[in-house]
Structure 1
Amino acid sequence: MRIEIDDKTFDIMLEYEQIKKRIRLLAIQLNVDYENRIPVFIGVLNGSFIFLADLIKEVDIPSEVSFVKVSSYKGDKSTGRVKEEIGLQMSLKDRDVIIVEDIVDSGHTMEYLLNMIKKEDPASVNVCTLLLKPNSVKTKFDEITYIGFEIPDDFVVGYGLDYNGLGRNLKDIYKAV
């Protein structure tokens, strides 16, 4: 299926049913890995809100949720600079933290987030990302433990990801053509 958003054309990449199945598997892994602990899931706004909402519904261990908002994109390109718009709203000292991200591509945002969270002296920090662009990541991150899908270096929208603020509401994920 082909769609138009603003001045770009996109084709389907991942259908919602595939995404839901993968989220269930990620949640099972999280439930096992964090058994007898109470992790805090830190969603990275705006992109992760749909992914985190679906993920947390599948997690059956006690847990907390909070959000941060950072940005590094303008249009379909990373600026390379990360801007903090909403910071941490709780203490993470001695907590097990799971950063929930919609996509890790260049890694600039992830590097910023990991540095910010590690300053809080958490017990552990891991990353759960729906999408990972392994060929785009500039830095190796040992903390990226939970990956929904590895994708090529395509620009993607849908399921929380946007282009110029549009397309977040799409159930499926689409790639630019």
Structure 2
Amino acid sequence: MEGLHPDVESIVLSEDDISQIVQRMGAEIGADYEGRNPLIVAVLRGAVVFTADLMRAIHCQLGVDFMAVSSYGDGTKSSGVVRIVKDLDTRIEGRDVLIVEDILDSGLTLSYLMKNLESRKPRSLEVAAFLVKDIPGKTPAVHPRYVGAHVPDAFIVGYGLDFAERYRNLPYIGVLKPEVYS
């Protein structure tokens, strides 16, 4: 494994942990959607690394498309305003749709996205979240059907997750040192 990045305090999930999570989730999704050709909707940009690995672990026919929504900017907290930056190119009416998300914290952005997609009348709409952040005293607005792992309420980076467009290429999930983002 690559050494610890100097801005990372600790590793939460190693490359091996991530690989095992992806294989488990891929097997679950593949079994549930066998014979159904789901459309995987990756939420850009954070979920692109996870989505690429997950697609290879799902052993049934599937399609893929991408959406980009914005509510964070360069900050560490959501602005509360959600806008679609890139919409789907695929019609989803009558399709089984699986939204693939990198990390779920409050779930407010994802809740908005789900309402938007539900209005397009998919056959089914589910969520696969690689990580769910455990925030004391808070329950996410969305409950994903598939969950990779739970992580502490800390600033998590790596494996697609970033701070100000940095650290996405780290091969592990780590906690960013507070002095980096404060």
Kindly state the Cα deviation for residue 35 of structure 1 after the two structures are TM-superposed.
1.1
SS in 2 for 1:54: helix
DSSP-derived class of the 1:101 partner: strand
The CA RMSD measured in Å over matched residues stands at: 1.6
Deviations 1:1-40 (A, max 9, x none): 65344xxx53211111100101100011011111121100
Q: 1:94 and 2:81 equivalent?
A: no
SS in 2 for 1:51: helix
**Matches of 1:134 and 1:113 in 2, distance apart?**
21
In the TM superposition, what is the alpha-carbon distance from 1:151 to its structure 2 partner?
Answer: 1.2
C-alpha contact (below 8 Å) 1:41/1:65 kept by paired residues: yes
Normalising by the residue count of structure 2, what TM-score does the alignment of the two structures yield? Answer: 0.89
| Percent of aligned pairs with the same amino acid | 35
> Counterparts of 1:81 and 1:138 in 2: how far apart (Å)?
20
Paired positions, count: 173
Question: What's the TM-score once normalised by structure 1's chain length?
Answer: 0.91
Counterpart code for 2:70: S
Unaligned runs of 5+ in 1: none
Unaligned runs of 5+ in 2: 178-182
**CA 1:151–1:139 in 2, change beyond 3 Å: closer, same or farther?**
closer
Q: Give CA deviations for 1:46-75 in whole Å, capped at 9, x if unaligned.
A: 000000000001111000000000121133
Q: Alignment partner of 2:85: what SS? A: strand
Pairwise CA distance, 1:138: 5.2
Contact 2:104 2:140 in 1 (8 A): no
Q: For the residues of structure 2 that align with 1:63 and 1:167, how far apart are their CA atoms?
A: 29
In 2, distance between residues paired with 1:140 and 1:77? 16
